[in-house]
Chains A and B, each alone.
Chain A
Amino acid sequence: MARVKFLCDADRCIECNACVTACKNEHEVPWGINRRRVVTINDGKPGERSVSMACMHCTDAPCAAVCPVSCFYTTADGVVLHSKDLCIGCGYCFYACPFGAPQYPKVGNFGSRGKMDKCTYCAGGPEADSTPAEYAKYGANRLAQGKLPICAEMCSTKSLLAGDGAIIAEIYKERVMKRGYGSGAWGWTTAYHEGIAV
Protein backbone atom coordinates (compact mmCIF):
# COMPACT_ATOMS: atom_id res chain seq x y z
CA MET A 1 0.00 0.00 0.00
CA ALA A 2 1.04 3.57 -0.58
CA ARG A 3 2.43 5.78 2.17
CA VAL A 4 0.07 8.76 2.10
CA LYS A 5 1.26 12.28 3.04
CA PHE A 6 0.25 15.91 2.95
CA LEU A 7 2.20 18.55 1.08
CA CYS A 8 1.50 22.30 1.18
CA ASP A 9 3.08 24.24 -1.66
CA ALA A 10 3.36 27.59 0.13
CA ASP A 11 4.15 29.38 -3.11
CA ARG A 12 0.60 28.62 -4.23
CA CYS A 13 -1.42 29.00 -1.03
CA ILE A 14 -3.58 32.15 -1.13
CA GLU A 15 -4.82 31.86 2.48
CA CYS A 16 -8.45 31.43 1.47
CA ASN A 17 -9.06 29.00 4.34
CA ALA A 18 -11.27 26.78 2.17
CA CYS A 19 -9.40 23.71 3.49
CA VAL A 20 -10.14 24.78 7.07
CA THR A 21 -13.81 25.34 6.32
CA ALA A 22 -14.18 22.14 4.33
CA CYS A 23 -12.64 20.14 7.17
CA LYS A 24 -14.91 21.70 9.79
CA ASN A 25 -17.94 20.99 7.64
CA GLU A 26 -17.04 17.49 6.56
CA HIS A 27 -16.44 16.23 10.10
CA GLU A 28 -18.75 18.56 12.00
CA VAL A 29 -15.80 19.53 14.15
CA PRO A 30 -16.94 21.32 17.31
CA TRP A 31 -16.35 25.00 17.99
CA GLY A 32 -12.84 25.74 19.18
CA ILE A 33 -11.26 22.66 17.59
CA ASN A 34 -9.09 23.30 14.54
CA ARG A 35 -7.93 20.19 12.80
CA ARG A 36 -6.44 22.28 10.02
CA ARG A 37 -5.25 25.88 10.11
CA VAL A 38 -3.48 28.33 7.82
CA VAL A 39 -0.53 30.30 9.20
CA THR A 40 0.86 33.30 7.33
CA ILE A 41 4.57 34.02 7.65
CA ASN A 42 5.97 37.53 7.09
CA ASP A 43 2.43 38.84 6.83
CA GLY A 44 2.33 41.98 4.72
CA LYS A 45 6.07 41.92 4.13
CA PRO A 46 8.20 40.87 1.19
CA GLY A 47 8.33 37.12 0.97
CA GLU A 48 4.96 36.56 2.65
CA ARG A 49 3.90 32.93 2.51
CA SER A 50 0.90 31.04 3.85
CA VAL A 51 1.04 27.41 4.85
CA SER A 52 -1.94 25.15 5.48
CA MET A 53 -1.08 22.82 8.33
CA ALA A 54 -2.73 19.88 10.05
CA CYS A 55 -1.47 16.57 11.34
CA MET A 56 1.30 15.48 8.95
CA HIS A 57 0.90 11.80 9.88
CA CYS A 58 4.57 11.60 10.81
CA THR A 59 7.00 8.77 10.39
CA ASP A 60 7.90 7.57 13.93
CA ALA A 61 5.10 9.84 15.16
CA PRO A 62 6.23 11.64 18.33
CA CYS A 63 2.64 11.99 19.58
CA ALA A 64 2.28 8.20 19.54
CA ALA A 65 5.60 7.72 21.31
CA VAL A 66 4.86 10.04 24.23
CA CYS A 67 1.23 9.05 24.82
CA PRO A 68 1.17 7.62 28.37
CA VAL A 69 -1.65 5.24 27.49
CA SER A 70 -0.34 4.30 24.01
CA CYS A 71 -3.64 5.02 22.30
CA PHE A 72 -2.22 5.70 18.81
CA TYR A 73 -1.88 3.37 15.88
CA THR A 74 -0.60 3.76 12.35
CA THR A 75 -2.62 2.34 9.44
CA ALA A 76 -1.09 0.43 6.54
CA ASP A 77 -1.23 3.71 4.55
CA GLY A 78 0.88 5.51 7.17
CA VAL A 79 -2.06 7.44 8.63
CA VAL A 80 -1.62 8.16 12.37
CA LEU A 81 -4.90 7.60 14.24
CA HIS A 82 -5.87 7.31 17.89
CA SER A 83 -8.61 5.96 20.11
CA LYS A 84 -10.71 8.52 21.95
CA ASP A 85 -11.97 5.75 24.23
CA LEU A 86 -8.44 5.29 25.58
CA CYS A 87 -7.17 8.90 25.53
CA ILE A 88 -7.01 10.47 29.00
CA GLY A 89 -6.60 14.07 27.79
CA CYS A 90 -3.15 14.60 29.31
CA GLY A 91 -2.03 16.99 26.59
CA TYR A 92 1.38 15.38 26.11
CA CYS A 93 0.84 14.75 22.39
CA PHE A 94 0.59 18.53 21.89
CA TYR A 95 4.00 19.06 23.50
CA ALA A 96 5.55 16.44 21.25
CA CYS A 97 3.81 17.33 18.00
CA PRO A 98 6.03 19.51 15.80
CA PHE A 99 2.97 20.91 14.01
CA GLY A 100 0.51 21.83 16.76
CA ALA A 101 -1.98 19.28 15.43
CA PRO A 102 -3.63 17.79 18.56
CA GLN A 103 -6.67 19.71 19.81
CA TYR A 104 -8.59 19.41 23.07
CA PRO A 105 -12.12 20.39 23.95
CA LYS A 106 -11.94 22.20 27.26
CA VAL A 107 -13.95 20.34 29.87
CA GLY A 108 -14.24 21.20 33.52
CA ASN A 109 -12.10 23.37 35.73
CA PHE A 110 -8.61 24.80 35.32
CA GLY A 111 -6.88 23.63 32.19
CA SER A 112 -8.42 20.17 32.25
CA ARG A 113 -8.66 18.80 28.77
CA GLY A 114 -11.09 16.47 27.11
CA LYS A 115 -10.32 13.67 24.67
CA MET A 116 -7.80 14.71 22.08
CA ASP A 117 -9.06 15.41 18.55
CA LYS A 118 -6.96 15.80 15.44
CA CYS A 119 -6.89 15.40 11.69
CA THR A 120 -7.59 11.78 10.74
CA TYR A 121 -6.56 12.16 7.09
CA CYS A 122 -10.30 11.65 6.62
CA ALA A 123 -9.78 8.05 7.75
CA GLY A 124 -12.03 7.84 10.84
CA GLY A 125 -10.92 5.88 13.87
CA PRO A 126 -10.81 2.42 15.41
CA GLU A 127 -14.59 1.88 15.11
CA ALA A 128 -15.99 -0.06 12.15
CA ASP A 129 -15.64 1.98 8.93
CA SER A 130 -18.30 4.60 8.15
CA THR A 131 -20.54 3.81 11.13
CA PRO A 132 -22.42 6.53 13.06
CA ALA A 133 -20.26 5.70 16.11
CA GLU A 134 -17.10 6.36 14.10
CA TYR A 135 -18.55 9.54 12.62
CA ALA A 136 -19.56 10.94 16.01
CA LYS A 137 -16.02 10.59 17.41
CA TYR A 138 -13.73 11.06 14.44
CA GLY A 139 -15.82 12.41 11.54
CA ALA A 140 -16.14 11.09 8.01
CA ASN A 141 -14.12 8.17 6.72
CA ARG A 142 -13.49 9.20 3.15
CA LEU A 143 -10.49 6.94 2.75
CA ALA A 144 -12.72 3.89 3.26
CA GLN A 145 -14.81 5.18 0.35
CA GLY A 146 -11.76 5.49 -1.85
CA LYS A 147 -11.62 9.31 -1.60
CA LEU A 148 -8.78 11.56 -0.51
CA PRO A 149 -8.96 14.12 2.32
CA ILE A 150 -11.55 16.84 1.67
CA CYS A 151 -9.12 19.72 2.38
CA ALA A 152 -6.80 18.83 -0.47
CA GLU A 153 -9.68 17.97 -2.77
CA MET A 154 -11.19 21.42 -2.14
CA CYS A 155 -7.99 23.43 -2.54
CA SER A 156 -8.65 25.93 -5.34
CA THR A 157 -5.01 26.50 -6.22
CA LYS A 158 -4.01 22.89 -5.64
CA SER A 159 -1.48 24.16 -3.16
CA LEU A 160 -2.45 21.49 -0.68
CA LEU A 161 -1.74 18.02 -1.99
CA ALA A 162 -2.73 14.71 -0.44
CA GLY A 163 -2.12 11.17 -1.59
CA ASP A 164 0.74 8.77 -2.20
CA GLY A 165 3.84 10.53 -0.87
CA ALA A 166 5.97 9.54 -3.85
CA ILE A 167 3.44 10.91 -6.33
CA ILE A 168 2.83 14.26 -4.60
CA ALA A 169 6.57 14.72 -4.18
CA GLU A 170 6.95 14.21 -7.92
CA ILE A 171 4.19 16.76 -8.67
CA TYR A 172 5.87 19.30 -6.39
CA LYS A 173 9.27 18.70 -7.94
CA GLU A 174 7.87 19.27 -11.44
CA ARG A 175 6.23 22.52 -10.32
CA VAL A 176 9.43 23.86 -8.82
CA MET A 177 11.40 22.96 -11.92
CA LYS A 178 8.89 24.66 -14.18
CA ARG A 179 8.44 27.88 -12.25
CA GLY A 180 12.04 28.05 -11.10
CA TYR A 181 11.52 28.48 -7.36
CA GLY A 182 10.01 26.81 -4.31
CA SER A 183 10.12 27.39 -0.58
CA GLY A 184 10.25 23.68 0.13
CA ALA A 185 7.87 20.97 1.21
CA TRP A 186 6.92 22.52 4.55
CA GLY A 187 7.40 20.18 7.47
CA TRP A 188 8.60 17.22 5.47
CA THR A 189 12.08 16.94 6.97
CA THR A 190 10.62 17.11 10.47
CA ALA A 191 7.68 14.83 9.76
CA TYR A 192 9.14 12.25 7.39
CA HIS A 193 12.92 12.58 7.99
CA GLU A 194 13.31 13.54 4.32
CA GLY A 195 12.75 16.64 2.25
CA ILE A 196 12.19 16.80 -1.48
CA ALA A 197 15.41 17.44 -3.35
CA VAL A 198 14.83 19.51 -6.43
Chain B
Amino acid sequence: MTTSPSHIRSIIFALAILIAMPAMPVLAQQLGPDGAPNPTASVVPEQKLLQQSPRIEGRIDIPSERARVLMQPAGRQWDHFHEITLHWVGAIVILGMIALLGAAYLIIGRLRISKGRCGHKVLRFSSFERFSHWLTAASFVVLGLTGLNITFGKIVLLPIFGPEAFSSMSEAAKYVHNYVSAAFVIGLVLIVALWIKDNLPRKADIDWIKQGGGFIKSKHAPSGRFNAGEKLVFWFALGAGAAVIISGCLLIFPFYVTDIAGMQIAQVVHAVIAVLFIAVIIAHIYIGTLGMEGAFEAMATGEVDLNWAKEHHDLWLEEQLAKERLAARSGQSSAVPAE
Protein backbone atom coordinates (compact mmCIF):
# COMPACT_ATOMS: atom_id res chain seq x y z
CA MET B 1 0.00 0.00 0.00
CA THR B 2 1.30 3.44 -0.82
CA THR B 3 0.71 6.40 1.44
CA SER B 4 0.14 9.52 -0.60
CA PRO B 5 0.48 13.01 0.88
CA SER B 6 -3.30 13.37 0.82
CA HIS B 7 -3.56 10.26 2.99
CA ILE B 8 -1.15 11.77 5.48
CA ARG B 9 -3.05 15.01 5.45
CA SER B 10 -6.34 13.34 6.20
CA ILE B 11 -4.75 11.32 9.01
CA ILE B 12 -3.34 14.51 10.54
CA PHE B 13 -6.74 16.14 10.17
CA ALA B 14 -8.41 13.21 11.95
CA LEU B 15 -5.83 13.40 14.75
CA ALA B 16 -6.36 17.13 15.09
CA ILE B 17 -10.12 16.54 15.45
CA LEU B 18 -9.50 13.87 18.07
CA ILE B 19 -7.26 16.20 20.05
CA ALA B 20 -9.69 19.07 19.74
CA MET B 21 -12.67 16.92 20.76
CA PRO B 22 -12.66 17.64 24.52
CA ALA B 23 -12.75 21.34 23.70
CA MET B 24 -15.63 21.05 21.24
CA PRO B 25 -18.58 21.09 23.65
CA VAL B 26 -17.73 24.69 24.49
CA LEU B 27 -20.22 26.78 22.63
CA ALA B 28 -19.42 30.39 21.98
CA GLN B 29 -21.22 32.96 24.09
CA GLN B 30 -24.00 34.41 21.97
CA LEU B 31 -24.81 38.07 22.37
CA GLY B 32 -28.15 39.77 21.79
CA PRO B 33 -28.61 42.91 19.61
CA ASP B 34 -27.95 45.08 22.68
CA GLY B 35 -24.63 43.33 23.36
CA ALA B 36 -25.83 41.50 26.49
CA PRO B 37 -25.32 37.73 26.77
CA ASN B 38 -28.29 35.88 25.44
CA PRO B 39 -29.07 32.95 27.73
CA THR B 40 -31.39 31.39 25.20
CA ALA B 41 -28.75 31.08 22.52
CA SER B 42 -25.85 30.02 24.78
CA VAL B 43 -27.77 27.13 26.34
CA VAL B 44 -25.97 23.73 26.27
CA PRO B 45 -28.44 21.20 24.94
CA GLU B 46 -27.85 17.69 26.26
CA GLN B 47 -28.60 16.04 22.92
CA LYS B 48 -26.03 18.21 21.15
CA LEU B 49 -23.33 17.22 23.63
CA LEU B 50 -24.17 13.55 23.12
CA GLN B 51 -23.81 13.96 19.37
CA GLN B 52 -20.34 15.42 19.85
CA SER B 53 -18.98 12.81 22.19
CA PRO B 54 -20.13 9.42 23.51
CA ARG B 55 -19.96 10.66 27.11
CA ILE B 56 -20.79 13.90 28.85
CA GLU B 57 -18.11 14.84 31.36
CA GLY B 58 -17.66 17.88 33.52
CA ARG B 59 -16.01 19.10 36.68
CA ILE B 60 -16.84 17.78 40.11
CA ASP B 61 -15.43 18.27 43.59
CA ILE B 62 -15.35 14.54 44.35
CA PRO B 63 -11.74 13.42 43.78
CA SER B 64 -12.65 10.65 41.33
CA GLU B 65 -12.36 10.48 37.57
CA ARG B 66 -15.40 8.23 37.52
CA ALA B 67 -17.66 10.77 39.21
CA ARG B 68 -16.83 13.40 36.57
CA VAL B 69 -18.72 11.41 33.95
CA LEU B 70 -22.25 12.72 34.04
CA MET B 71 -23.68 10.39 31.44
CA GLN B 72 -22.51 7.43 29.36
CA PRO B 73 -25.38 6.06 27.24
CA ALA B 74 -22.94 3.32 26.10
CA GLY B 75 -23.89 1.54 29.33
CA ARG B 76 -27.06 0.46 27.56
CA GLN B 77 -25.00 -0.98 24.68
CA TRP B 78 -22.79 -2.83 27.12
CA ASP B 79 -25.95 -4.18 28.76
CA HIS B 80 -27.06 -5.43 25.33
CA PHE B 81 -23.70 -7.08 24.74
CA HIS B 82 -23.70 -8.77 28.13
CA GLU B 83 -27.30 -9.94 28.16
CA ILE B 84 -27.96 -10.75 24.49
CA THR B 85 -24.78 -11.01 22.39
CA LEU B 86 -22.63 -12.77 24.98
CA HIS B 87 -25.34 -15.26 25.89
CA TRP B 88 -25.85 -16.24 22.26
CA VAL B 89 -22.17 -16.29 21.33
CA GLY B 90 -21.27 -18.23 24.47
CA ALA B 91 -24.06 -20.78 24.10
CA ILE B 92 -23.48 -21.33 20.37
CA VAL B 93 -19.70 -21.62 20.65
CA ILE B 94 -19.62 -23.92 23.68
CA LEU B 95 -22.67 -26.10 22.93
CA GLY B 96 -21.72 -26.12 19.24
CA MET B 97 -18.28 -27.47 20.08
CA ILE B 98 -19.75 -30.17 22.31
CA ALA B 99 -22.18 -31.18 19.53
CA LEU B 100 -19.34 -31.25 17.00
CA LEU B 101 -17.22 -33.46 19.21
CA GLY B 102 -20.17 -35.74 19.91
CA ALA B 103 -20.63 -36.12 16.16
CA ALA B 104 -16.91 -36.78 15.69
CA TYR B 105 -17.06 -39.50 18.32
CA LEU B 106 -20.06 -41.13 16.66
CA ILE B 107 -18.63 -40.90 13.13
CA ILE B 108 -14.87 -41.29 13.55
CA GLY B 109 -14.89 -42.85 16.99
CA ARG B 110 -11.88 -43.34 19.21
CA LEU B 111 -8.59 -43.31 17.32
CA ARG B 112 -6.96 -46.61 18.29
CA ILE B 113 -3.23 -47.37 18.18
CA SER B 114 -3.26 -49.14 14.78
CA LYS B 115 -0.61 -51.73 15.65
CA GLY B 116 -1.79 -52.15 19.22
CA ARG B 117 0.43 -51.55 22.23
CA CYS B 118 3.91 -53.05 22.23
CA GLY B 119 4.39 -52.59 25.97
CA HIS B 120 7.65 -50.70 25.68
CA LYS B 121 7.38 -47.20 27.21
CA VAL B 122 9.04 -43.92 26.25
CA LEU B 123 9.18 -40.88 28.51
CA ARG B 124 7.23 -38.03 26.91
CA PHE B 125 6.70 -35.46 29.67
CA SER B 126 8.88 -34.93 32.74
CA SER B 127 7.19 -34.56 36.11
CA PHE B 128 7.80 -30.80 36.05
CA GLU B 129 6.19 -30.55 32.62
CA ARG B 130 3.20 -32.50 33.89
CA PHE B 131 2.98 -30.30 36.99
CA SER B 132 2.95 -27.16 34.82
CA HIS B 133 0.31 -28.62 32.54
CA TRP B 134 -1.99 -29.67 35.37
CA LEU B 135 -1.54 -26.40 37.25
CA THR B 136 -2.73 -24.55 34.15
CA ALA B 137 -5.45 -27.10 33.40
CA ALA B 138 -6.91 -27.22 36.91
CA SER B 139 -6.91 -23.44 37.31
CA PHE B 140 -8.43 -23.10 33.84
CA VAL B 141 -11.33 -25.39 34.69
CA VAL B 142 -11.95 -23.54 37.97
CA LEU B 143 -11.74 -20.13 36.23
CA GLY B 144 -13.95 -21.33 33.40
CA LEU B 145 -16.67 -22.66 35.69
CA THR B 146 -16.64 -19.70 38.09
CA GLY B 147 -16.54 -17.31 35.12
CA LEU B 148 -19.41 -19.00 33.30
CA ASN B 149 -21.38 -18.71 36.53
CA ILE B 150 -21.18 -14.92 36.13
CA THR B 151 -22.43 -15.24 32.54
CA PHE B 152 -25.00 -18.03 32.72
CA GLY B 153 -25.49 -18.76 36.44
CA LYS B 154 -28.62 -16.67 36.79
CA ILE B 155 -30.23 -18.51 33.87
CA VAL B 156 -29.14 -22.05 34.72
CA LEU B 157 -28.47 -22.23 38.47
CA LEU B 158 -30.55 -19.47 40.06
CA PRO B 159 -33.88 -21.22 39.37
CA ILE B 160 -32.50 -24.42 40.93
CA PHE B 161 -30.82 -23.05 44.05
CA GLY B 162 -32.97 -19.99 44.79
CA PRO B 163 -31.69 -16.45 45.34
CA GLU B 164 -29.98 -16.84 48.76
CA ALA B 165 -27.98 -20.01 48.05
CA PHE B 166 -27.12 -18.86 44.53
CA SER B 167 -25.85 -15.50 45.81
CA SER B 168 -23.65 -17.04 48.51
CA MET B 169 -22.26 -19.48 45.98
CA SER B 170 -21.65 -16.73 43.41
CA GLU B 171 -19.87 -14.56 45.95
CA ALA B 172 -17.55 -17.46 46.81
CA ALA B 173 -17.10 -18.14 43.09
CA LYS B 174 -16.12 -14.50 42.54
CA TYR B 175 -13.35 -14.72 45.12
CA VAL B 176 -12.20 -18.10 43.80
CA HIS B 177 -12.06 -16.67 40.26
CA ASN B 178 -10.05 -13.68 41.42
CA TYR B 179 -7.48 -15.67 43.43
CA VAL B 180 -7.13 -18.77 41.24
CA SER B 181 -6.22 -16.43 38.37
CA ALA B 182 -2.72 -16.21 39.91
CA ALA B 183 -2.23 -19.98 39.52
CA PHE B 184 -3.31 -19.75 35.89
CA VAL B 185 -0.77 -17.01 35.19
CA ILE B 186 2.05 -19.06 36.74
CA GLY B 187 0.97 -22.21 34.88
CA LEU B 188 0.77 -20.46 31.53
CA VAL B 189 4.18 -18.84 31.96
CA LEU B 190 5.72 -22.24 32.80
CA ILE B 191 4.06 -23.97 29.87
CA VAL B 192 5.23 -21.34 27.44
CA ALA B 193 8.78 -21.40 28.80
CA LEU B 194 8.96 -25.19 28.64
CA TRP B 195 7.34 -25.81 25.28
CA ILE B 196 7.77 -22.77 23.05
CA LYS B 197 10.91 -24.29 21.50
CA ASP B 198 9.07 -27.46 20.41
CA ASN B 199 6.13 -25.45 19.10
CA LEU B 200 7.98 -23.34 16.56
CA PRO B 201 6.68 -24.17 13.07
CA ARG B 202 8.76 -26.60 10.98
CA LYS B 203 8.52 -28.25 7.58
CA ALA B 204 7.00 -31.47 8.91
CA ASP B 205 3.91 -29.48 9.97
CA ILE B 206 2.95 -28.95 6.34
CA ASP B 207 3.26 -32.66 5.57
CA TRP B 208 1.27 -33.42 8.71
CA ILE B 209 -1.60 -31.24 7.48
CA LYS B 210 -1.35 -32.68 3.94
CA GLN B 211 -1.56 -36.20 5.34
CA GLY B 212 -4.81 -35.38 7.13
CA GLY B 213 -3.38 -34.87 10.61
CA GLY B 214 -3.44 -38.52 11.58
CA PHE B 215 -7.17 -38.82 11.13
CA ILE B 216 -6.79 -40.75 7.89
CA LYS B 217 -5.68 -44.23 8.80
CA SER B 218 -4.14 -45.09 5.43
CA LYS B 219 -1.79 -42.11 5.52
CA HIS B 220 1.06 -41.44 7.88
CA ALA B 221 1.34 -37.88 9.21
CA PRO B 222 4.91 -37.12 10.29
CA SER B 223 5.44 -35.04 13.41
CA GLY B 224 8.04 -33.85 15.86
CA ARG B 225 7.34 -33.51 19.57
CA PHE B 226 4.16 -31.58 18.83
CA ASN B 227 2.13 -31.88 15.65
CA ALA B 228 0.68 -28.92 13.78
CA GLY B 229 -2.66 -29.32 15.55
CA GLU B 230 -1.05 -29.28 18.97
CA LYS B 231 1.01 -26.28 17.93
CA LEU B 232 -2.15 -24.43 16.98
CA VAL B 233 -3.60 -25.15 20.43
CA PHE B 234 -0.35 -23.97 22.00
CA TRP B 235 -0.26 -20.65 20.14
CA PHE B 236 -3.96 -20.13 20.65
CA ALA B 237 -3.58 -20.76 24.38
CA LEU B 238 -0.68 -18.32 24.50
CA GLY B 239 -2.58 -15.57 22.66
CA ALA B 240 -5.95 -16.11 24.33
CA GLY B 241 -4.27 -16.62 27.70
CA ALA B 242 -2.43 -13.32 27.41
CA ALA B 243 -5.63 -11.52 26.34
CA VAL B 244 -7.64 -13.03 29.19
CA ILE B 245 -4.92 -12.28 31.73
CA ILE B 246 -4.48 -8.65 30.69
CA SER B 247 -8.22 -7.97 30.50
CA GLY B 248 -8.76 -9.93 33.74
CA CYS B 249 -6.21 -7.79 35.56
CA LEU B 250 -7.99 -4.66 34.35
CA LEU B 251 -11.23 -6.10 35.76
CA ILE B 252 -9.67 -7.07 39.09
CA PHE B 253 -8.24 -3.57 39.51
CA PRO B 254 -11.23 -1.59 38.27
CA PHE B 255 -10.50 1.97 37.12
CA TYR B 256 -6.85 1.81 38.23
CA VAL B 257 -5.56 2.37 34.71
CA THR B 258 -8.61 2.89 32.55
CA ASP B 259 -11.92 4.75 32.44
CA ILE B 260 -15.48 3.47 32.03
CA ALA B 261 -15.13 2.80 28.29
CA GLY B 262 -11.90 0.90 28.94
CA MET B 263 -13.59 -1.20 31.62
CA GLN B 264 -16.40 -2.11 29.24
CA ILE B 265 -13.93 -3.06 26.49
CA ALA B 266 -11.88 -5.12 28.96
CA GLN B 267 -15.00 -7.02 29.99
CA VAL B 268 -16.03 -7.64 26.36
CA VAL B 269 -12.54 -8.90 25.46
CA HIS B 270 -12.36 -11.05 28.60
CA ALA B 271 -15.77 -12.64 28.08
CA VAL B 272 -15.53 -13.24 24.31
CA ILE B 273 -11.99 -14.64 24.42
CA ALA B 274 -12.91 -16.74 27.47
CA VAL B 275 -15.83 -18.51 25.78
CA LEU B 276 -13.75 -19.17 22.64
CA PHE B 277 -10.93 -20.43 24.87
CA ILE B 278 -13.32 -22.73 26.72
CA ALA B 279 -14.61 -24.18 23.44
CA VAL B 280 -11.08 -24.83 22.14
CA ILE B 281 -10.04 -26.43 25.41
CA ILE B 282 -13.10 -28.69 25.39
CA ALA B 283 -11.86 -29.99 22.03
CA HIS B 284 -8.35 -30.34 23.47
CA ILE B 285 -9.70 -32.35 26.41
CA TYR B 286 -11.70 -34.56 24.05
CA ILE B 287 -8.68 -35.46 21.93
CA GLY B 288 -6.52 -36.04 24.98
CA THR B 289 -8.98 -38.46 26.59
CA LEU B 290 -11.91 -39.99 24.69
CA GLY B 291 -10.75 -39.13 21.19
CA MET B 292 -7.43 -40.95 21.07
CA GLU B 293 -6.17 -44.12 22.66
CA GLY B 294 -2.83 -43.80 24.41
CA ALA B 295 -2.77 -39.99 24.57
CA PHE B 296 -3.91 -39.38 28.14
CA GLU B 297 -1.13 -41.41 29.77
CA ALA B 298 1.44 -38.97 28.37
CA MET B 299 0.14 -36.35 30.79
CA ALA B 300 -0.84 -38.81 33.52
CA THR B 301 2.26 -40.99 34.01
CA GLY B 302 4.47 -39.13 31.57
CA GLU B 303 5.15 -42.26 29.53
CA VAL B 304 3.64 -43.37 26.23
CA ASP B 305 3.64 -46.65 24.38
CA LEU B 306 6.35 -46.95 21.72
CA ASN B 307 3.80 -47.83 19.03
CA TRP B 308 1.72 -44.77 19.89
CA ALA B 309 4.80 -42.58 19.61
CA LYS B 310 5.75 -44.17 16.27
CA GLU B 311 2.30 -43.49 14.91
CA HIS B 312 1.83 -39.92 16.15
CA HIS B 313 5.25 -38.40 16.80
CA ASP B 314 7.75 -40.37 14.69
CA LEU B 315 10.34 -37.61 14.27
CA TRP B 316 10.32 -36.87 17.99
CA LEU B 317 10.62 -40.60 18.80
CA GLU B 318 13.72 -40.91 16.57
CA GLU B 319 15.37 -37.98 18.35
CA GLN B 320 14.37 -39.40 21.71
CA LEU B 321 15.71 -42.89 20.96
CA ALA B 322 18.93 -41.42 19.56
CA LYS B 323 19.34 -39.46 22.79
CA GLU B 324 18.70 -42.57 24.87
CA ARG B 325 21.27 -44.59 22.89
CA LEU B 326 23.81 -41.80 23.29
CA ALA B 327 23.14 -41.63 27.01
CA ALA B 328 23.41 -45.42 27.30
CA ARG B 329 26.73 -45.49 25.43
CA SER B 330 28.30 -42.67 27.45
CA GLY B 331 26.86 -44.24 30.59
CA GLN B 332 28.50 -47.57 29.67
CA SER B 333 31.82 -45.98 28.84
CA SER B 334 32.01 -44.28 32.20
CA ALA B 335 30.72 -47.29 34.13
CA VAL B 336 33.05 -49.77 32.50
CA PRO B 337 36.59 -48.43 32.55
CA ALA B 338 38.73 -49.30 29.56
CA GLU B 339 41.11 -52.18 30.08
Show the binding face of A for B, using Cβ within 8 Å: 10-11, 17, 34, 37-43, 45-51, 53, 62, 65-71, 83, 85-92, 94-100, 110-113, 180-187, 189-190, 195
B83's nearest neighbour on chain A, judged by CB, is A65
* Interface membership of B163, Cβ < 8 A: yes
**How far does the Cβ of A134 sit from chain B's closest Cβ, in whole Å?**
18
* Pairs across A and B, CB under 8 Å, 11 listed: A11-B39, A41-B49, A43-B58, A67-B154, A68-B170, A70-B163, A96-B78, A98-B76, A99-B71, A100-B70, A110-B178
B266's nearest neighbour on chain A, judged by CB, is A95
Segment touching A, from B8-16, B26-34, B99-107, B311-319: B26-34
Residues of A within 8 A of B149 (CB): 68
Contact B163 A71 (CB under 8 A): yes
**How far does the Cβ of A186 sit from chain B's closest Cβ, in whole Å?**
5
What is the CA–CA distance of A185 and B46 in the complex, to the nearest angstrom?
Answer: 8
Chain B window 46-65, contacts with chain A (Cβ cutoff 8 Å), 1 for yes, 0 for no: 11010000001111111000
Contact B150 A68 (CB under 8 A): yes
Contact A88 B58 (CB under 8 A): no
Of the candidates A50, A90, A189, the one whose C-beta lies within 8 Å of that of B150 is A90
Contact B174 A186 (CB under 8 A): no
Segment touching A, from B136-144, B252-260, B293-301: B252-260
Residues of B within 8 A of A91 (CB): 254
Identify whether the interface residues of A are mostly helix, strand, loop, or mixed.
Answer: loop
Contact A41 B67 (CB under 8 A): no
Contact A66 B83 (CB under 8 A): yes
Contact B62 A66 (CB under 8 A): no
Known contacts: A70-B154, A98-B72, A99-B71. The answer to whether A46 contacts B46 by CB under 8 A is: no
Contact B46 A68 (CB under 8 A): no
Residues of B within 8 A of A85 (CB): 164, 167
Among all A-B residue pairs, the 10 with the closest Cβ atoms: A46-B29, A62-B79, A181-B40, A41-B58, A39-B58, A88-B171, A39-B70, A184-B46, A98-B75, A43-B59
**How far does the Cβ of A30 sit from chain B's closest Cβ, in whole Å?**
14
What is the CA–CA distance of A120 and B29 in the complex, to the nearest angstrom?
Answer: 38
A-B contact count (CB 8 A): 169
What is the CA–CA distance of A50 and B44 in the complex, to the nearest angstrom?
Answer: 10
Contact B83 A46 (CB under 8 A): no
B74's nearest neighbour on chain A, judged by CB, is A98
**How far does the Cβ of A151 sit from chain B's closest Cβ, in whole Å?**
16
Q: Given contacts A70-B154, A70-B163, A100-B70, could you give 13 more A-B pairs where the C-beta distance is less than 8 Å?
A: A38-B60, A40-B59, A47-B27, A49-B43, A51-B58, A62-B76, A66-B83, A88-B170, A90-B174, A95-B260, A183-B46, A186-B71, A190-B76
Known contacts: A47-B42, A111-B256, A181-B39. The answer to whether A96 contacts B75 by CB under 8 A is: yes
* Interface membership of B267, Cβ < 8 A: yes
Contact B45 A184 (CB under 8 A): yes
**How far does the Cβ of B80 sit from chain A's closest Cβ, in whole Å?**
9
What is the CA–CA distance of A113 and B263 in the complex, to the nearest angstrom?
Answer: 15
A62's nearest neighbour on chain B, judged by CB, is B79
Of the candidates B30, B76, B163, the one whose C-beta lies within 8 Å of that of A86 is B163
Contact B79 A96 (CB under 8 A): yes
Residues of A within 8 A of B75 (CB): 62, 95-98
Of the candidates B37, B67, B170, B254, the one whose C-beta lies within 8 Å of that of A34 is B67
Known contacts: A90-B174, A92-B82, A96-B75. The answer to whether A47 contacts B29 by CB under 8 A is: yes
**How far does the Cβ of A67 sit from chain B's closest Cβ, in whole Å?**
8
Residues of A within 8 A of B68 (CB): 39
Residues of B within 8 A of A11 (CB): 39, 43
What is the CA–CA distance of A39 and B62 in the complex, to the nearest angstrom?
Answer: 10
Contact A69 B60 (CB under 8 A): no
Known contacts: A100-B67, A186-B46. The answer to whether A180 contacts B40 by CB under 8 A is: yes
Known contacts: A43-B59, A62-B76, A95-B260. The answer to whether A183 contacts B69 by CB under 8 A is: no
Known contacts: A97-B75, A186-B71. The answer to whether A39 contacts B60 by CB under 8 A is: yes
* Interface membership of B264, Cβ < 8 A: yes
* Interface membership of B97, Cβ < 8 A: no
Residues of A within 8 A of B37 (CB): 46
Contact B43 A182 (CB under 8 A): yes
Contact B174 A88 (CB under 8 A): yes
Contact B82 A66 (CB under 8 A): yes
**How far does the Cβ of B145 sit from chain A's closest Cβ, in whole Å?**
14
Known contacts: A65-B83, A86-B163, A86-B164. The answer to whether A183 contacts B71 by CB under 8 A is: no
Chain B window 262-275, contacts with chain A (Cβ cutoff 8 Å), 1 for yes, 0 for no: 01100100000000
Residues of A within 8 A of B82 (CB): 65-66, 92, 96
**How far does the Cβ of A140 sit from chain B's closest Cβ, in whole Å?**
22
A88's nearest neighbour on chain B, judged by CB, is B171
What is the CA–CA distance of A98 and B25 in the complex, to the nearest angstrom?
Answer: 19
Residues of B within 8 A of A94 (CB): 66, 260
Of the candidates A50, A86, A180, A182, the one whose C-beta lies within 8 Å of that of B167 is A86
* Interface membership of B166, Cβ < 8 A: yes
